[in-house]
Structure 1
Amino acid sequence: MKLFEKNAAELSAMLQNKECSAVELTKDVLDRIDAKESAVGAYVTRCEDCLEQAEAVDNARAAGEELHPLAGIPIGIKDNISTKGIRTTCSSKMLENYVPPFDATVMQPVRKAGMVITGKMNMDEFAMGSSTETSYFHTTHNPHNLDCVPGGSSGGSAAAVAAGEAILTLGSDTGGSIRQPASLCGVVGLKPTYGSVSRYGLVAFASSLDQIGPFGKSVKDVALLQSLIQGHDNMDATSAYRNYANLYENLNGSVQGLRIGVPKEYFGEGIDAEVKDAV
């Protein structure tokens, strides 16, 4: 199995056990991007310093520094999340050449953890769409079937994980823009509870609904990344004060007695019979 086919939790263990290096992992993902990107179209901007980022992680590990479990893991960032020094376009011609002078709050823990930022992911322009066909730059295709859409607006983020062009990605969700493309691309995506992840530096669609959230190949992956980016932020007036548990460390808790409610209105006219039966 190639490194890009493994999930973040597996790769984290391999990196910590020195079964592979961050440079080796990053090279494998970059080779995968070179092989698949022309067909999938998940990226708007690719970072040119990926190997330098990975080498810094390897050097820190060799020096005996204590590193975050996600150190050296390649991550793609949806193109409506501000990244200092990296072009942020919202997939719009209006912002085609915009390079932010500041980072969104979520980028601070990502950078501090030593994750390797591979680039910015394609999306529906200004997050207005559900198919990633409205990007000014190009359409993103579903890597499982290139004739199909990957969903949206975080279609590039979902497609990249599904295609092995990134190990983890960040997206944003207002009314389904993480959950829907995760479903269509067969990966795991989470819209976190509102207020648990800072929205500072996210180009807003509907501020009362927007949330930044993770994509990964597994629930473990999503729990790792969500645990990294969650927390209170003074820069976001809607950021919630609460004790944030480490989701990854609590994955084995019992769900006995928990109930899931689904509104009866979801089963109204127009629902596909196969979906209704599955639910």
Structure 2
Amino acid sequence: MFVATDFEHALELARASDERRASGKARGLLDGIPVGIKDIFCTTNLATTAGSKVLEGFVSPYESTATQRLLDQGTVPLGKLNMDEFAMGSGTLYSKFGATINPWSKDLGDNAVVAGGSSGGSAAAVAAGCCFAALGSDTGGSVRQPAAYCGIVGLKPSYGRVSRHGMISYASSLDTPGIFARSVGDAAVVLKAIAGPDHMDSTCMTESLPENWCSNTVEASQQSSTVDLTGVRVGVPAEYFVEELPEEILNVWDKGVAWLREAGAQVVSMSLPTTKL
């Protein structure tokens, strides 16, 4: 999972957080909280390789906006996390550091279960309880897919909600910094910390999240069993029912659809004809 660490630096940050908390000067909910960083975000204290030997030993002269904002909140980054080389993969199998195995895998040999990708290291670290949350990047599913594989929450914010400054690009019109966490509320807290305008990224949104957005989202996630979706129309794409879909996944899908209906949503069949493209 972790491909580069600096635990001495992490301990220094943790001690500084303890002092702030003891003096009543905590920077917020994330002060002192351990996080992981996908090896695609530039950091000044650890090498940034994007999983490639091409960038072996490269240490950025500047911090990415997303990681800097986490540092500003007092978080304690534990290290950089494995990924498919230059984010071009969906299993975290193709990295100069080797493959990342899903922490839920019962087999660690040839039949090991993959963690998904390209942000598999981030997903695996959160699923294994190594850190509270982790940053990833999503161009075509690289946060959402490994989160699903590892049984955690994966959040791909709207494009431009989080600055891409200092995140090695893959497809600039699609790349989005994302978040892995174990609950919707946790992901919301991290998003609130890293989102917002940034003059270093011209594609970044100019509006910040509302001040009460985070608390409202956390409260809603804690009351999800009583959510009212009356008036909400939800589409179920026919193209998602592929032949390879395992029965156990299909059963969970059906339960999800049933839950939406019970909550008052109108569930309709639809078609996304370009899905296979």
Q: TM-score range by the shorter chain?
A: 0.7 to 0.9
1:260 aligns with 2:225: no
CA contact (8 A) 2:84 2:94 kept: yes
1:165 Cα shift? 1.5
Cα separation, partners in 2 of 1:113 and 1:153, compared to 1, 3 Å: same
CA contact (8 A) 1:85 1:101 kept: no
Aligned pairs for 1:122-271 within 5 A: 122-145=82-105, 146=108, 147-245=112-210, 246-251=212-217, 252-253=219-220, 255-256=228-229, 257-267=231-241, 271=245
1:274 Cα shift? 4.7
1:158 match: secondary structure: helix
Q: RCO higher in 1 or 2 (8 Å CA, sep ≥ 6)?
A: 1
CA contact (8 A) 2:5 2:46 kept: no
Aligned counterpart for 2:11 among listed residues 51, 57, 62? 51
1:118 aligns with 2:88: no
Q: Give the Cα–Cα distance (whole angstroms) in 1 for the partners of residues 178 and 200 of structure 2.
A: 18
1:85-123, CA deviations, whole angstroms, 9 ceiling, x for partnerless residues?
A: 221110110111000000111122101111001000000
Structure showing greater Rg: 2
Aligned counterpart for 2:58 among listed residues 98, 122, 134? 98
Q: 1 or 2, which has the higher strand percentage?
A: 2
Cα separation, partners in 2 of 1:182 and 1:268, compared to 1, 3 Å: closer
1:123 match: secondary structure: coil
1:220 Cα shift? 1.1
Q: Give the Cα–Cα distance (whole angstroms) in 2 for the partners of residues 85 and 223 of structure 1.
A: 27
Percent of residue pairs identical: 49
TM-score by length of 2: 0.81
1:260 match: secondary structure: strand
Runs of at least 5 residues in structure 1 that lack an aligned partner in the other structure: 1-41
- How many residue pairs were aligned? 238
Runs of at least 5 residues in structure 2 that lack an aligned partner in the other structure: 221-226, 255-277
Letter in 2 for 1:45: A
- Cα RMSD for the two superposed structures: 1.7
